[in-house]
Amino acid sequence: MIYDHRMSSPNPLARLCLHTITTKPWSTEECISRYSAAGVEGITFWRYNLEGRSPSAVGRQAREAGLEVVSLCRGGFFPGRTSIERQAAVDENRRCIEEARELGAPHIVLVCGAVPGQALAESRKQIAEGIAAVLPEAEAAGVKLAIEPLHPMYADDRSAVNTMSQANEICDVLGSPAMVGIAADVYHIWWDPELEAQIQQTAEAKRLFAFHLCDWKTPTTDFLNDRGLMGEGCIPISQISRWVDATGYSGMREIEIFSNRYWAMDQAEWLSRIVQSYQSLYSSRA
């Protein structure tokens, strides 16, 4: 039998990306240096990381530390009751696109928005119109837009796009396959009976831009900030990962965990737990 060193010992942290919000107590600079030292390969910045800083300098700093800048979170929140509100959202998204361009982030994650009391179908129409309005700037900047379907519990005020299917419909309407795609986050879509087929369809349309990971705790004590570390909840992460891998997706696996409990921990200890969890999930397949 031929011994192939590469096959037998793949980098256990290959394709591991962290969202900076996962270690929210750390500054932008600490995230960069700590992730790099831990062997993390990619970083997704949140816009608060850029406050008071030059986005291009932050991007350069990350790349010099050996990190790939994966994306910028987040744009979106397009729906509004008035045209003035909707225009303000378009303007804000144009600023976000410009920041992503300067940062060197290939895509922006869109949390698309919703207005309490407004019909979800109307909000989805406004989301498609909002994305269409910023598409020329995104194209000019070379920054892709990744619609992130959100769990239906957020349909009141965070997103009227709650399934991969709805996200794909908006992509179809926009008809710009190179620029508009989907960020698939297991927290939001794990329950969807169409998930496997939707992942396939999204990838076939070349729209699978990102894959986000965390877990769903039982009980969940806070619907925003009580997300779990992979392995401590009920999401079939290995199975969903196999579906994603089967499409040929070779992008980063992005850890994005909002958690008051973990933010209160020592963040170095928290990072090492994330790394361990990732290794046990993926060490047998790069």
> Measured from the CB of residue 60, what is the shortest distance to Zn ion in angstroms?
25
Site stretch for Zn ion (CB under 5 A), options 91-99, 179-187, 196-204, 228-236: 179-187
Token pair in block for residue 163: 């399934």
Identify which of 104, 109, 281, 128 has the alpha carbon closest to the alpha carbon of residue 212. 109
- CA atoms within a 13 Å half-sphere pointing along the CA-CB vector of 70: 29
Q: Up-side HSE of residue 232: CA atoms within 13 Å toward CB? A: 15
Residues numbered 224 to 263 that lie near Zn ion (CB under 5 A) are 256
185 is an interface residue for Zn ion by CB under 5 A:
yes
CB of 130 vs Zn ion, minimal distance in Å: 19
Q: Which is nearer to Zn ion, 86 or 161 (CB)?
A: 161
**Beta-carbon contacts of residue 199 (< 8 Å; ≥ 6 apart):** 164, 184, 208, 240, 243, 244, 247
Query: Sign (positive/negative) of CA torsion 228, 232, 235, 238?
Result: positive
Name which of 70 and 143 has its Cβ closer to Zn ion. 70
Q: Give the nearer residue to Zn ion in terms of CB position, either 61 or 192.
A: 192
Q: 47 vs 212, which CB is nearer to Zn ion?
A: 212
| Three-class DSSP category at 12 | coil
Instruction: Tell me, by CB under 5 A, how many residues bind Zn ion.
Output: 3
Give the interface segment with Zn ion, choosing from 139-147, 184-192, 198-206, 261-269 (CB under 5 A). Answer: 184-192
Least distance to Zn ion, CB of residue 183, Å: 6
Question: Shortest gap between Cβ of 74 and Zn ion (angstroms)?
Answer: 8
- The least CB distance from residue 148 to Zn ion, in Å, is 5
- For Zn ion, the closer of residues 215 and 256 by Cβ is 256
Q: Which of 224, 234, 84 is nearest to 159 (CA)?
A: 224
Nearer to Zn ion, 76 or 80 (CB): 76
Smallest gap, in angstroms, from Cβ of residue 2 to Zn ion?
Answer: 41
The nearer residue to Zn ion, 185 or 192, going by C-beta atoms, is 185
Taking 3-state DSSP, the helix, strand and coil percentages for the chain, each rounded to the nearest 5, stand at 45, 15, 35
Residues of span 190-219 touching Zn ion by CB under 5 A: 212
Angstrom distance (rounded) from CA 109 to CA 282:
24
Please state, in angstroms and rounded to a whole number, the distance separating the CA atoms of residues 56 and 73: 16
Q: How far is the CB of 91 from Zn ion (least distance, A)?
A: 24
Q: Which is nearer to Zn ion, 133 or 155 (CB)?
A: 155
Within 10 A of 25 (CB to CB), how many other CB atoms are there? 12
Smallest gap from Cβ 160 to Zn ion, in A, equals 17
Select from 115-123, 160-168, 177-185, 269-277 the region that touches Zn ion (CB under 5 A).
177-185
Quick one: CA dihedral 274, 74, 131, 150, positive or negative?
positive
With vertex at residue 190, the alpha carbon angle to CA 240 and CA 166, rounded to the nearest 5 degrees, is 110
Binding-site ranges for Zn ion (CB under 5 A): 185, 212, 256
